[in-house]
Amino acid sequence: VAYSPAGKLIAIAQDAGLTVCDAKTRKPGKQTPLGEEPTVRGVTFSPAGDYIAVTTKDGVAFATADIEPKQSGTWTEKGSDPD
């Protein structure tokens, strides 16, 4: 779970996907899938609050910081799972 720098959004990353909620109403937006088996490790907003990065066991997924986020890219590193 991460709050946006302005405190207006909350990002919730789970293995099922990324959900962004309005911080004031707690109303969730649409869930964005993060892949087939992402195993989420963490979530954070960019300093400007316009992107969300979700770390997984295989790399990082990037999404727009909107109530209905859109995945905008991934960075994958296979074979580096610390477990």
Global pTM value: 0.80
Residue 23 tokens, joined: 């911080």
Dist. CA 58–CA 79, nearest whole Å: 8
Residue 2 binned pLDDT confidence (cut-offs 50, 70, 90) = very high
46 close to 58: Cβ distance less than 8 angstroms: no
Per-residue pLDDT tens digits for 16-71: 789 999 999 999 988 888 777 768 899 999 999 999 999 888 888 888 888 777 77
